[in-house]
Structure 1
Amino acid sequence: MSASNAHPMASGHVPAYLPGPDGSDPLFTFMAVTTILLILGIGALYLTLHAIPEKMAHTDNHTQFQVIGILALLALFTHNNLFWVAALLLAAFRMPDFLTPIQSIAASLEELKQRAKEE
């Protein structure tokens, strides 16, 4: 800004963030780039947080991996945190295996039944 264009009460020092005579606006450019980077960073963080239950289930080779993935996806699209908490709890704790002992008991009873028929 030249001295002839300046207001008579303006100081001689013009801050660098004000628009220059060539029309460039460094403060606007800085804030636009910062806003875009911040939005992308927050989006990446949000998606990373939503993937935590799936990553936990994948690393532990969880039997309910598909259910955990569906719950995490539902939480992402519906913004219902209850689905995400359910997926996290399901990924963190293994369900007890009730089926194997019951099948073993059934097999033993079948074998006892076959022995009783033979006698």
Structure 2
Amino acid sequence: MTEPLHPAAIHHLPPFVTAPGETDVLFIVTAFFVLFAVVGIGIFYFKLHALPEQMAHRGQKVQFELVAVLALLALFTHNHLFWIAGLLLAFVPLPDFTTPLRSISGSLERIANRAEPATSTPPVQDAPVPADHQPIGQREA
């Protein structure tokens, strides 16, 4: 038996209103939409947050490490200035000072190994040992 509607109720209910005991399809669709939207926005946020690190990955190791530290600081402190500094640092290539210095030090090391010392001393000759200090088998009779 169907119960009569309350006299104050409207006669034509909207389609999203479900009868008691039936599955609420609109609620399930909305719940899945919100769940996927939250996960999608989170993935987008973390991809955007890792952008400076991805850009600095093609540069030097020191630059990459600095940008990674700035990105982590920005993530944990919610201070966007660190993220902007990391992004700018990722865009600007740092000059390479270590490669020329290593080349210079390698060349100097090769030169030092090849050259003779300028103040070489003559080899020390053994002084003659007195006869009474020589081992017993080697003494002259």
Structure-2-length-normalised TM-score: 0.60
Pairwise CA distance, 1:81: 0.4
- What secondary structure does 2:46 align onto? helix
> Does the aligned pair in 2 maintain the 1:18–1:26 contact within 8 Å?
no
TM-score for the superposition, normalised by structure 1? 0.69
What residue is the counterpart of 2:138 in the other structure?
A: none
Letter in structure 2 aligned against 1:43:
G
**Residue 99 (structure 2) pairs with residue 94 (structure 1):** no
Pairwise CA distance, 1:5: 3.6
2:76 is matched with 77
Cα RMSD (Å):
2.7
The match for 2:45 is: 46
Gaps of 5+ in 1: 111-117
Say which is worse superposed, 41-50 or 27-36, in terms of deviation: 27-36
Taking the aligned partners of 2:97 and 2:60, their CA distance within structure 1 comes to: 16
- Structure 2 distance, partners of 1:55, 1:22, is 52
Q: Runs of 5+ in structure 2 lacking a partner?
A: 109-117, 119-141
What is the CA-CA distance between 1:48 and the residue it aligns to? 0.6
Q: Which residue of 1 aligns with 2:124?
A: none
Q: Counterparts of 1:19 and 1:89 in 2: how far apart (Å)?
A: 55
**Which residue number in structure 1 is paired with residue 20 of structure 2?**
21
Compare the two structures and name the one with the higher helix fraction.
1
Quick check: 1:62 aligned with 2:76? no
Q: Distance in 1 between matches of 2:99 and 2:20?
A: 80
1:75 and 1:20 map into 2 onto residues whose CA distance is 50
